[in-house]
Amino acid sequence: MQTISGRSVQSRCLARVAAPGRKVCVVRAGAAVQDKPGEKVVGSAWQFTQPAGKGLGWYTGAEDGYLYVDQLRVEDIRRQVPEALFYLYSKNRVMHNYESYKKALEGLDSLPCYAVKANNNLIIMKQLAAAGSGAVLVSGNELKMAIAAGFDPSRTIFNGNGKLPWELELAVEKGVLINIDSEFDLQNIAAAARKTGKKAKVLLRINPDVDPQVHPYVSTGLAGSKFGIRNSHIKWFLDAIRAEPMLELVGVHSHLGSTITKVNIFRDAAVIMCEFIKMIRAEGFELKYLNIGGGLGIDYSHEGQVLPTPTDLIDTVRDIVKELGLTLVIEPGRSMIATSCALVNTVTGVKTNGNKNFIVVDGSMATLIRPSLYGAYQHIELTAPSTAEKQTFDVVGPICESGDYLGKDRVLPTPKAGDGLVVHDAGAYCMSMASNYNLKMRPAEYLVEDGKVRKIRHEETLEQHMAVFEGL
Ligand SMILES: Cc1ncc(COP(=O)(O)O)c(C=O)c1O
Ligand SMILES: N[C@@H](CCCC[NH3+])C(=O)O
C-alpha cells in the first residue's frame, strides 16, 4: 500500500468514498489495481473523475455549492491529502495569468520577468521558466533558485538596495542584468565585474516620485523611498558609469509599489521615465530597456471590482516604448500568481468572548502574514456548503499574538471542528513570507495540474528545523 507522509492513502480514500451523499472517485498514487469504478492509476498523482467545472482557478460549483479549483472539489482534495493545512494552486490559473501578459505584450519588444519574491516554489518557477518567462530577483539565493528552475540568466534582473558582494559576483558571472540602486551599489557592482573579469550590464533604478496610492509598506517609488538612486545625483551616476569600463548602461528601471489599481499611475511614471531616457541618451548612452517594474493589483475583495488587466497596463505605455524604440521590461509578481492559490485550513473550533465570535483554524500569521502585517483583506470561505446559522467571526490562528488573524468581521455559516476554510488569493507573498514563529512549520503545497493533484512542496519538519543547531 502506497503511503504518503506515513499515512495510508487507502484508509483515507475509503473513508471518503463512504461519506454520505458524495460521489467521489479517487485514484491512489502508484496503486497497481483498479478497485473502485472511476479509479485510475496515474503515476504519483491522484486523478479525480467527478464532473468538470469551469476548469480555471477557484469558483463555487453552481449546482452543489462546493468550492472548486479547476475541475476538482476542494473537499475531495482535503480528504485525500494527508495534511490538514496546505497551500493549493491551480496550474491553469498560473499559466492563464502568464499568457495574459504574453498576449498583452504582443507587438512590442519585451522581456516579461516574473518576480520570484512573490512565490519561490521551485515547481512553479520551473513551469514559468519553461513557458519562456524571465525573472526578477532580489537575492543571490533567488538567483540560484532561478538557475535551478531553468530561467535563462541573461533574461533575469537583479534588484535590491543592499546587494552583497558575493551576490553581485554571481550575477555578473551569470550575465544577469543588474539595477544600480545607490552610489555604493554602483561601486560594488563595478568591483564584482572587475573581480569576475566580466562586464556588467546595468540599469539605473530611478524613482519617478509618483504616488502609487497603496499601503505605505508597499510603496517604493516616491522620492523618500529606500530604493533607487538619488535622482538629483543622476549626472554623478552617468559620469561614474562612463569612467568605469566594466559597466555598460543598458536601461532604466522604476518600480512604484505593489497592489496598484489604476493604470494612469503607470502612465504618469512612464512619461517621467521617458524624460530621463531622453536626457541619458543625450549624454551619449545607448539605452535599450525601459523597465516599469511590477505592481499591478488584483481584486482581493471578490466583489467583482473591475481592475486593470495586463493589456490595460501595457497599452498605457505602448506608445512611449514604440516611440523611443525600447524593449519593455515588466516585473509582475502578485498579478501573475496570487489568484492561482488558496490556503486551505481546517477549523480547530469556534468560541465566543465578550461580543466577539472566533473561528480558530490551524493556519495563522506564521503561514500567511499579510492580514496581520498590512491589515490586508483576503477573501475567506468554507469549502463545503452549509445551512448552519451565519454569524460574524474573526478568523484567527493559534499563534500567541492578538494580531494573529486571517480575517476580521467575516459573515460565515458557523463551522464545526474539522471543516475546511480557505483564504483566497494566497499565491503571492503568503508562502514566501511564511515563518516558523511559535515553531509552526511551513506547510505543504499542492498543485492541480491536468485534473490531478500533485505535491509540489513537503511540509517542513521539526527535525529539519533542529538540524540548524546540530553540533553546536
Ligand atoms: C523591484 C520590484 N519588482 C517587482 C515587484 C513585484 O511587484 P508585484 O508583486 O506587485 O507585481 C516588486 C515588489 O513590489 C519589486 O519590489
Ligand atoms: N509583501 C507585500 C508586497 C511586497 C512587494 C515587494 N516589493 C504584500 O504582501 O503585499
**pLDDT tens digits, residue range 107-140?**
999 999 999 999 999 999 999 999 999 999 999 9
Residue range 229-265, pLDDT digits in tens: 999 999 999 999 999 999 999 999 999 999 999 999 9
Query: What pLDDT, on a 0 to 100 scale, did the predictor assign at position 152?
Result: 98
Q: Is 331 in the pocket of ligand 1 (CB under 6 A)?
A: yes
Q: Which of 61-65, 80-84, 376-380, 381-385 has the lowest mean pLDDT?
A: 61-65
Number of the ligand closest to the Cα of 116: 1
Query: In a mutational test of the pocket of ligand 2, which residue from 219, 258, 339, 378 has the highest number of ligand atoms less than 8 Å from its CB?
Result: 258
Homologous superfamily, domain 159-332: Alanine racemase (3.20.20.10)
Distance CA 1, CA 8 (A): 7
Number of the ligand closest to the Cα of 215: 2
Q: What is the mean pLDDT of residues 416-440?
A: 98
- Burial code (b: 16+ CB inside 10 Å, e: under 16) for 177-193 equals bbbbbbeebbebbbbbb
CATH no. for 58-90+339-468: 2.40.37.10
Question: Residues 301, 378: contact at Cβ < 8 Å?
Answer: no
Asked if residue 53 has pLDDT above 70, the reply is: no
Q: How far is the CA of 429 from the centre of ligand 2 (A)?
A: 6
pTM for the full predicted model = 0.89
Q: Domain ranges for the chain, please list them.
A: 58-90+339-468, 159-332
Average per-residue pLDDT in the chain?
89
Smallest CA-to-CA distance from 338 within 127, 94, 60, 95 is with 94
Long-range Cβ contact pairs of 373-379 (< 8 A, separation 24 or more): 373/217, 373/433, 374/215, 374/217, 374/218, 375/215, 376/215, 376/300, 377/300, 377/301, 377/407, 378/300, 378/406, 378/407, 378/423, 378/424, 378/425, 378/426, 379/300, 379/301, 379/302, 379/423, 379/424, 379/425
Q: Is 110 in the pocket of ligand 2 (CB under 6 A)?
A: no
Query: In a mutational test of the pocket of ligand 2, which residue from 334, 335, 424, 432 has the highest number of ligand atoms less than 8 Å from its CB?
Result: 334
Q: For strands 356-361 and 380-382, give the pairing.
A: unpaired
Asked if residue 67 has pLDDT above 50, the reply is: yes
Q: How far is the CA of 1 from the centre of ligand 2 (A)?
A: 43
Q: Is 142 in the pocket of ligand 1 (CB under 6 A)?
A: no
Residue range 299-339, pLDDT digits in tens: 999 998 889 999 999 999 999 999 999 999 999 999 999 99
Q: What is the mean pLDDT of residues 354-359?
A: 97
Q: Whose CA is nearest to atom 4 of ligand 2?
A: 218
Number of the ligand closest to the Cα of 138: 1
* ipTM rounded to 2 decimals: 0.99
Q: How far is the CA of 42 from the centre of ligand 1 (A)?
A: 38
Asked if residue 221 has pLDDT above 90, the reply is: no
The contacts of residue 38 (CB under 8 Å, 6+ apart) are 25, 49
Residue range 190-219, pLDDT digits in tens: 999 999 999 999 999 999 888 888 898 888
Q: Whose CA is nearest to atom 5 of ligand 1?
A: 294
Distance CA 178, CA 158 (A): 5
Query: What pLDDT, on a 0 to 100 scale, did the predictor assign at position 54?
Result: 59
Q: How confident is the model at residue 96 (pLDDT cuts 50, 70, 90)?
A: very high
Query: In a mutational test of the pocket of ligand 2, which residue from 119, 214, 218 has the highest number of ligand atoms less than 8 Å from its CB?
Result: 218
